[in-house]
Structures are given as structure tokens and as C-alpha cells.
Amino acid sequence: MSTTNCNNYAVFAGEKSRPLAEKICKSLGCQMGHMTTEHFADGEFAVFYEDSIRGKDVFLVQSTFPSADNIMELLLMIDAAKRASAHYITAVIPYFGWARQDRKDKPRVSIGAKLIADMLGSAGITRLITMDLHADQIQGFFNVPVDHLYASSIFLEYINKNLSLETLTVATPDVGGTKRANTYAKFLGVPMVICHKSRIRANEVAEMRIIGDVEGRDVLLIDDIVDTAGTITKAANLMLENGARSVRALASHAVLSNPAMERIEQSALTEILFTDSIPLKRTSSKVHILSVADMFAEAIRRVCNHESISSLYSI
């Protein structure tokens, strides 16, 4: 890995993303900057940088998962850094929330991802580093450079080291993830199957069927976000009912709203892999967390040194 001068930049974190930021700083070999978030009785809060950041390249680590306090805290961090005369302000958002609202798919609906992009731009970011956006086109919502990282290199390393399965088949739990699953299947040189689903409403699957053959196969479901875990556990159970030998899953972002953990524990899944883009509230014997800290640390190094980031991607 390349090195950089810690005097030229500083890394800060919002309250909920501090565990990941601490690991990023450890990988960078620098101390995390000191910042205080002061809470008021009515629920408002304010941020204050205890260290001077005048003329520095500032990296602000904060995933924007629920609640909305996380995005608000990030906006205040950006504004405070701008007013403290930071040279560059890079928002490091491992999980970019509201990304599922990336288009107008029905009348009179908001495009939440574009709104968040506009808010971040207005607050004053000069660059965004994020990972596994729900839709790639969200990069175009920003008027600043976007470094879009992929957790595939971390997942593939784990698969190659720990899953020596001769009958591996990659699957997608819905048609929207076909491109993502197909990329994994091509890289691993294994077949792919698709789950086709229809929804009654958000987070509620009405019907699902498999396109392809899973008989006697070890299936690996690929997804980007697991929220209530309804889709991925229903797909896993369906795979087993159709003759799969085992079913595993991986997803970049563990949103895990209730009753996700219970569904995972009761499902046919042998194992499910997540990254630490969102801190895990509960643990399970079926859940395994892989850290993206080194990947983000290397991205920060390369941004500081004006080096290419594309070589970080496996697929």
C-alpha cells in the first residue's frame, strides 16, 4: 500500500460510524480527528471540531442509514468544515441511504437519492467516496467527483479461501440484481440462476419463482442491501425446496430492520456475509461480517496522493 503524510489530511467520523472510522484510521496509521457532537434537550445537535483543520484535506466518515440524524449530522460536519477553512472536504459514505429512491417509478413520488446528493453538494463537499450504490446512475446526481468502491474484492477473497464448492451456483434474489450476480458468476466461472418476484408493497413479497436449475447445487445469493430480509430468506427457502444442496448469501449493506435477524435465523441460509458499512446491532451464528476499512483507507491514501482508484476493484 502507498503512504501519505498525515499532516496534510484529517479523518473525522459521525457518532454511529465511529467504529469503522477507527479501523480506517488504524489502517492509515494516523489518529482520528477529535470532534464533539453536542445534543440539546429538544433533539437538536451541533458539531464542533476540536482540532484545527484550516487548509487540510478533510475526510468525513458517516454512513447515512436510519435514522435521519445520521445524514443531518454529516451535513453539519460538512458545513462546520467549510466554515473552518478546510482545503477539500470529502464525504466518505460507506452506505449511501435513500439510494433505492433513484428514479420516478410512479406519479407524484420524490427522488430521494437526488435530493440527498443536492443537500451534500450545497453543504460543501468537494468529493464523495462511497461503496456499492443501489443504482450506479446515482453517481451522476453529483456535481463533484465520485469514487464508487465495490466490496466484491473482499467477498471474492473470502469465497476463494473459505468456499471450496465444486457445485457452486450464483443466484440473484430479484431480477434487478441480475447484472451484479452475472458479474460474480463470470468471474468465478460458475452458472447463474434468477429469482423472479412480485411485490404487494415495499418490503412485502407476494410471489417468487426460480429461473434456472439448482438441483444438487450449492447456491450463493448475491445482493447489495438486506433490509427486512424478506426477499433473500424467501429466495433461500425456495432454493432448498427446489433441490439445492446448500444456500449461502452475501450483501454489502446490513440494514437489517425488524424482523430481519429473526428471518435469517429461521431461514434455510447456512451463512450470510455482510460488510461493516453499517454497525451491526445484533449478532447471529449465521451472520459473518467482513471489514471494508482497509479498502476505504487505501482509497483515501490514493485520493491524497492523486493516484488511480480503479485498480482496487476485482470486478
Indicate which residues carry an active-site annotation: 197
Residue 40 grid coordinates: 440539546
Query: Grid coordinates standing for 111?
Result: 427522488
The Cα-based distances of 269 to 18, 173, 212, 222, 226 in angstroms read 30, 13, 19, 13, 14
| CA distances in angstroms from 280 to 22, 104, 135, 183, listed in the order given | 16, 31, 23, 27
Rounded distance between C-alpha atoms, residue 222 and residue 201, angstroms: 22
Q: Which three-class secondary structure string do you get for 154-222?
A: HHHHHHHHHCCCCCEEEEECCHHHHHHHHHHHHHHCCCEEEEEEEEEECCEEEEEEEECCCCCCEEEEE
